[in-house]
């Protein structure tokens, strides 16, 4: 009788359980009717934590190789790098080849976060292996991304390569935290649907508006960390001129810049 239990009630039951992975696994094991909904809930949000001590990327890859259908359930993905502060600050990150392989499975990610700890004068984006960088760009290009958060990447030397991360036509929410991009206005992103943005950048605000201004025309919520020593007092007004008249939420904060824009 239970295998014919209404799917709507099964999904409601799973929703009430919430993120309790242990209970969800028990439901899937006890009754096959709950398996698909339980798996969808368990794998809807995935975090890959990169440390020298953990091997969660390898374990996740083993799961996907054994059950590739689970990749379709992953809608939120976070790659979080944890630095060992007992080691030199500029020590290279030890990336597992499993991370790039995992990204190759994913096609339905709606929210993606790439999070590095702040390491001054280190270009995290530049230090990512070529194969993994291509896998990240591929994920962002083929997935229906609605939310993209890039944290602590440092200086990004190649804007053409970096622009591949923001090609999703579904992109609505964008965060650039502790990130520097070149002054060049070539390879401007064409993201017209952005509605919520947060930027904490190590570059001139006017340079930023020149590069990203066209992408801000639909923004309703904007948070921007502004260099206090900016060369033009008209910077904030220039930014406001680039955003939609329907802007509903605006936060401008200031900081004293300790480095020169690249």
In a domain, 93, yes or no: yes
- Are residues 29 and 69 located together in one domain of the fold? no
86 belongs to a structural domain:
yes
Same domain as 200, residue 171: yes
Residue 260 domain flag: no
Residue 237 lies in a domain: yes
Tell which residue, 204, 187, 201, 197, has the closest CA to residue 223.
197
> Would you tell me how many other CB atoms lie within 10 Å of the CB of residue 254?
13
Question: Rounded distance, CA 227 to CA 118, Å?
Answer: 18
31 and 87, same structural domain?
Answer: no
Identify whether residues 101 and 226 lie together within a single domain: yes
The pLDDT score that the predictor gives to residue 251 is: 82
* CATH number for the domain harbouring residue 158: 3.80.10.10
Query: How many domains does the structure of the chain reveal?
Result: 2
Task: Let me know the angle formed at the C-alpha of 144 by 40 and 15, rounded to the nearest 5 degrees.
Answer: 25
Are residues 143 and 226 both part of a single domain? yes
3-state secondary structure of 166: helix
Residues 6+ apart with CB under 8 A from 96: 50, 55, 57, 58
Neighbours of 40 (CB within 10 A): 17
Q: Same domain, yes or no, for 154 and 36? A: no
Give the gyration radius of the chain's Cα atoms.
Answer: 21
What would the pLDDT profile of 173-182 be if each residue is shown by its tens digit? 989 888 877 7
CA 158 to chain centre: 18
**Can you read off the two tokens belonging to residue 42?**
């368990």
Q: Are 5 and 52 part of one and the same domain?
A: no
Q: Answer yes or no: do 174 and 104 share one domain.
A: yes
Is 262 among the domain residues? no
Same-domain check for residues 32 and 51? no
Residue 217 in tokens = 């025309």
In a domain, 261, yes or no: no
Give the single-character DSSP code of 87. Answer: S
Q: Is 221 among the domain residues?
A: yes
Q: Give the residue among 9, 11, 63 at the shortest CA–CA distance from 35.
A: 11
Q: Are residues 147 and 188 in the same domain?
A: yes
Specify whether 147 is located in the same domain as 51: yes
Give the chain's length: 262
Task: Report how far residue 107's alpha carbon sits from residue 213's, in angstroms, rounded to the nearest whole number.
Answer: 29
Q: Which range marks the domain in which residue 10 is found?
A: 1-42
pLDDT in tens, 183-230: 665 666 667 778 888 887 665 556 666 677 677 778 888 888 766 655
pTM over 0.95? The answer is no
pLDDT in 10s for each residue of the chain, 262 residues: 445 655 555 555 555 555 555 655 565 555 655 666 677 777 888 999 988 777 889 989 998 998 898 999 999 999 999 877 777 767 778 899 999 999 999 999 999 999 998 776 677 888 899 999 999 999 999 999 999 999 988 888 777 777 788 888 889 998 988 887 776 656 666 677 788 888 876 655 566 666 776 777 788 888 887 666 555 555 667 777 777 677 888 887 776 655 444 4
Please give the pLDDT value at position 103: 97
In the prediction, which pLDDT does 261 show? 44
Asked if residue 130 and residue 20 are part of one domain, the reply reads no
Unique residue bearing structure tokens 């993209």? 148
């Amino acid at each position: 009788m239970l295998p014919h239990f209404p799917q709507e009630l099964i999904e409601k039951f799973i929703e009430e359980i919430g993120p309790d992975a242990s209970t969800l696994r028990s439901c899937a094991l006890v009754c096959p009717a709950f398996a698909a909904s339980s798996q969808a809930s368990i794998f809807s949000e995935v975090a890959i934590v990169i440390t020298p001590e953990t091997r969660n990327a390898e374990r996740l890859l083993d799961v996907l190789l054994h059950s590739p259908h689970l990749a379709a359930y992953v809608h939120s993905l976070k790659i979080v790098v944890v630095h060992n502060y007992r080691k030199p600050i500029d020590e290279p990150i030890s990336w597992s080849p499993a991370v790039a392989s995992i990204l190759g499975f994913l096609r339905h990610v709606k929210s993606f976060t790439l999070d590095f700890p702040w390491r001054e004068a280190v270009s995290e984006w530049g230090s990512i292996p070529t194969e993994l960088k291509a896998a990240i760009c591929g994920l962002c290009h083929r997935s229906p991304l609605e939310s993209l958060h890039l944290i602590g990447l440092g200086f990004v030397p190649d804007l053409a390569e970096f622009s591949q991360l923001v090609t999703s036509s579904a992109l609505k929410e964008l965060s650039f935290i502790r990130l520097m991009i070149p002054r060049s206005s070539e390879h401007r992103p064409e993201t017209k649907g952005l509605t919520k943005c947060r930027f904490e950048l190590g570059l001139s605000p006017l340079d930023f508006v020149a590069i990203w201004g066209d992408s801000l025309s639909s923004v309703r919520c904007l948070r921007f960390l502004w260099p206090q020593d900016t060369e033009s007092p008209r910077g904030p007004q220039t930014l406001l001129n680039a955003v939609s008249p329907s802007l509903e939420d605006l936060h401008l904060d200031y900081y004293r810049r300790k480095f020169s824009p690249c």
